[in-house]
Amino acid sequence: MAERNSFFDSPEVQNFNKDIQQYNLGPLWNAIPDLMHKQPTPEAVPYLWKWEVLEKKLHEATQIFTPERGGERRAIYFQNPGFKSRQPWGWASTTNTLYAAVQLILPGEAAPSHRHTQNAMRFITKGSGAFSTVQGQRIFMEEGDYLTTPGWLWHGHGHEGERPMIWMDILDIPFVYASAGTFFEPHSVQLEKPSLPDNYGPRRYRGGMVRPISDRIPQIAPVGSYKWAQTEMALDGLSDFEPDPYDGFAIEYVNPSNGATANPTMAAWIQKLPTGFSSKAHRHTNSAIYHVFKGEGYSVINGVQYHWTKGDFFVIPNWAWHEHVNTSNDDALLFCANDLPIMETFHLQKEERYEQNGGHQEIKSEFIPVLL
């Protein structure tokens, strides 16, 4: 492409550009550098939210909002500061395609059943005794469980336990919004009555290890919930071998009925970083949202150091260089949700390895999180 020169600033061109606006037309020659930049320039920025802040704000929200009063869920979403000027859907974008939130439910509360075209997944951060009713079965949730609720499935939540329960929601809200594919419908009853035994999917599939022979036809979410005990066992098995240099010991949740990601548009996995593990840096087109399930360490994202401890959440936007380090004396466990399936479906996925300096970025500054 030719260098941009004074031609673009000439009154003749500027007047023409202005003139065609009244016909709702636009000049490509003016727009192309912004439309077709050399590499991804996501509005999302790297960011990190501290657990102490989230937990406190969720508990404060219990004084203000109840599902009964508001007819909805008590969820607080991760607003990426890079989107603040983009209205209205910038309000709820954590990355360019993904929304993530933390949700708190109190014992005895019920979040009403509804369905929408957005796909959802959950990772259980704290507590037990709450359930999500999906596809007619109550799926009880415990710390470390991963649940899938693909688009248009009815889902509502209840809590039979003793203490507040918190989990992470991840949905493809910005992607579906941009595609104008949003449908939403509340259920006719408050919380859908179960039509199958409790934990039907996870019990029949043993966490995705097997497939009952009657289920050979692909289904959208046959497992429903991937139990922590089984995930931990799988991680332990993998740990006898070499870690991936970029992601440590990482295992992805899959749908055993079709071999694809557990949720169609979003992938999710768990990464174990052993003591002292320091990954190499790379970047990829897909964006990722991380939750620190266990441990302590830091990630370097585009040369900035993000310290994390248990419970924190952080964002790696598209095409950002990143690497992870475990600084603690124990394993660190990271839950990662990402839009890899979207990027792969549209042939946009690319990865690049950081080759300089032994594969490690120079740390130029440290991120200072907003504290209470």
Residues lying near ligand GTQ in the complex (CB under 6 A) are found at: 73, 75, 101, 103, 120, 155, 169, 171
Rank residues 175 and 298 by Cβ distance to ligand GTQ and give the closer one: 175
**Rg for the chain, CA atoms, rounded:** 22
Q: How far is the CB of 116 from ligand GTQ (least distance, A)?
A: 6
- Our CB check for ligand GTQ shows the closer of 103 and 318 to be 103
Looking at the Cβ atoms of 116 and 307, the one nearer to ligand GTQ is: 116
Q: Where are the beta strands (DSSP E) in 287-331?
A: 288-294, 296-301, 304-309, 313-316, 322-326
For the bound state, the minimum distance from the C-beta of residue 370 to ligand GTQ, rounded and expressed in Å, comes to 21
- In the complex, the smallest distance separating the C-beta of residue 134 from ligand GTQ, rounded to whole angstroms, is 10
The distance of closest approach from Cβ of residue 168 to ligand GTQ in the complex, given in angstroms and rounded to an integer, is 9
> Tokens in use for 157?
């939540």
Residue from 310, 276, 305, 306 nearest 292 by CA: 310
CB nearer to ligand GTQ: give 104 or 120: 120
Whether omega before 88 lies within 30 degrees of 0, making that bond cis, reads yes
Comparing CB distances to ligand GTQ, the nearer of 264 and 297 is 264
**Least distance from C-beta 171 to ligand GTQ, angstroms?**
5
What gap in Å lies between CA 16 and CA 78, rounded to an integer? Answer: 42
Rounded (10°) CA dihedral 299, 300, 304, 309: 10
* Residue recorded with tokens 């500061």: 81
Q: Dig out the tokens for 286 from the structure.
A: 């897909």
Residue with nearest beta carbon to ligand GTQ: 169
Q: Do 255 and 234 touch, CB atoms closer than 8 A?
A: no
